[in-house]
Chain A
């Protein structure tokens, strides 16, 4: 309890634009406003075809609601600040990077290869250094999953250098 209060005080001592409540509220409102602007580009249905309300009205109302509620949580947070979150560790950014690597490899080379690469990368950076276990999560397990989905569910995976060899 004391720790939470300490974290809250620490948050209050920061300039307002560095505080989590400001950053979170700003991001939500920024995205909501961008989406709200987008809703004005939606086609308008002529009155004769329109049933009830225009297609843009419902999302518009939702976005306005989100903006209003976000302003409300920001206002409440000025009275009762959020606790400061711990800094994110390097392992988080590496895992996030692995998602990016997965996207790049699966788009350019191969879906299966991308799963293997991510599995080995994550497992290694999370502390697994034994070769057998790296092979287990990076190759043996993905092969089992791949074959299972391919044979039982009759799934066809997207083309790539390894999947093409398998299918040919």
Chain B
């Protein structure tokens, strides 16, 4: 009961409500604009959160996360371009349905299923995160090392890309985290005589570079691309028949999305692809998929929004990001002096349940905004790239500079923009780099501390049952993509 009251706290604070309102609005705008999204948006807004108290800052970031994930559906349905990668599966049925003159119905289904998925996942978060946090009390350094390894091996199955390429990108992210003074011995590593590098490479320059700047370079190659936007009169709530047809799909995808979200490093993109394919597998009319099936839209959208709450579970309970955007939220927590983990649940329940409550309200708010304002948000896609991207550049540069007031951060951002562009061009996802960068210090730190505990004997890891379980799961995570590929070839 106390926790429920704590969850309702944002409703009674005008400041938090205002933050939620703007966060949801901003998240929707980011979600609608192809190439941007909650990860880039969260990274860009991070410096601004320094003016807020920790709860308001994290509420702002989480509302951007929830609304941004839904916002991608608007562009997916109306211009056949996913606003966010997580909305890619929504294009498959959303756009064909819109082409049939039923854009309002498609968006209505996307809005309702996203909201249900999002709320479902918050419920999972409220119940599951404290349990996981309780379990984390059993974790020592070896267990955390094994967990971080599990998180990294999960990178192999991110999206549709090559598992090995994802792992290379993840290893690259960890390598970036080793730049600077070694935290155990204070010895410089990869600093090349540059004093500022002894502090290491910041998270924000890398994220903004890999997401925003590389996207700017990508957009420069697509100048002749013309978006054909389908006219939208109004968003329509699904009919009784549509509800009857899709409620099981929505619930199933909400469960799938929440589960996928909980897995370290996975996120909305994987969740929506699995949610969509499961919706097709269980459908009575699988032949309608790809031609404008409402079940397809519901399956993808419920899953990607359900992943938001799921991804917050390991982020808050263990300090292991559940997705790229939660890696940004995790950075926000650390910047504001909040250390995620089991102690957070014991010492700051008001803070945590405030976040849970804010996520719940954000899901309701984006339903209202989406239902009444999708037509206006769709217009944002009309802002030409030739105006939009120079503006994003100005904000990116100032935002990156502002955190440590260092021009080196700006050069690093530009460098990672170029690296990110070529990575994406040759099929390397940039998400593993972010996850690797966040987990890098944890992996190395816990490995070295474990070896101190074990007096250098690596075999001692095998005496820790939880660690062994995570190693087995890591092995499964590594071979799973190979088995999946073999199965699809057959």
Chain A residues close to B by CB (< 8 Å)? 20, 24, 28, 35, 38-39, 42-43, 45, 49-53, 55-56, 58-59, 62-63, 65-66, 69-70, 72-73, 76, 82, 85-86, 88-89, 91-92, 94-96, 99, 102-103, 106-107, 111, 115, 118-120, 122-123, 126-128, 133, 136-138, 141-142, 145-146, 149, 152-153, 155-158
Contacts and interface: CB of A to CB of B under 8 A. Distances in A.
B185 A49 contact: yes
18 contacts: A43-B188, A49-B185, A51-B449, A53-B451, A59-B175, A65-B171, A66-B175, A69-B168, A70-B168, A99-B414, A103-B411, A118-B393, A119-B394, A120-B390, A122-B386, A141-B390, A153-B402, A157-B401
A104 B380 CA distance: 33
Nearest to B414: A99
B162 interface: yes
Given A56-B189, A63-B175, A137-B387, A51 B221 contact: no
A20 B423 CA distance: 12
Interface in B383-432: 384-387, 389-391, 393-395, 397-398, 401-402, 405, 407, 410-411, 414, 417-418, 425-427
Given A51-B452, A52-B456, A141-B391, A106 B407 contact: yes
A91 B393 contact: no
A64 to B, nearest CB: 10
B190 A59 contact: yes
Interface string B208-227: 00000000110011010000
Interface of B: 47-48, 50-51, 162, 164-165, 167-168, 171-172, 174-175, 178, 182, 184-185, 187-190, 216-217, 220-221, 223, 384-387, 389-391, 393-395, 397-398, 401-402, 405, 407, 410-411, 414, 417-418, 425-427, 444, 447-452, 456
A66 B394 contact: no
Given A52-B447, A55-B189, A149-B402, 19 more contacts: A24-B426, A28-B168, A35-B175, A45-B187, A51-B449, A69-B167, A73-B164, A73-B168, A85-B425, A89-B220, A92-B217, A118-B393, A119-B394, A122-B393, A126-B386, A128-B384, A128-B386, A145-B398, A156-B405
Contacts of A120: 390
Contacts of B405: 155-156
Contacts of B387: 123, 128, 133, 136-137
Contacts, number: 161
A117 to B, nearest CB: 10
Given A106-B410, A156-B405, A99 B418 contact: yes
A99 to B, nearest CB: 5
A73 B390 contact: no
Among B402, B417, B451, max chain A CB count under 10 A is at: B402
A52 B448 contact: yes
A62 B175 contact: yes
A122 B390 contact: yes
B411 A115 contact: no
Given A52-B451, A59-B190, A73-B162, A152 B51 contact: yes
Nearest to A77: B162
A96 B395 CA distance: 18
B219 to A, nearest CB: 8
B402 A53 contact: no
The 6 closest A-B pairs by CB, nearest first: A119-B390, A52-B448, A126-B386, A52-B451, A95-B220, A55-B182
Given A65-B171, A95-B216, A137 B390 contact: yes
Among A76, A94, A145, max chain B CB count under 10 A is at: A145
B480 to A, nearest CB: 17
Contacts of A133: 387
Nearest to B386: A126
Contacts of A53: 447-448, 451
A70 B172 CA distance: 12
Contacts of A126: 220, 223, 385-386, 389
Contacts of A122: 220, 386, 389-390, 393
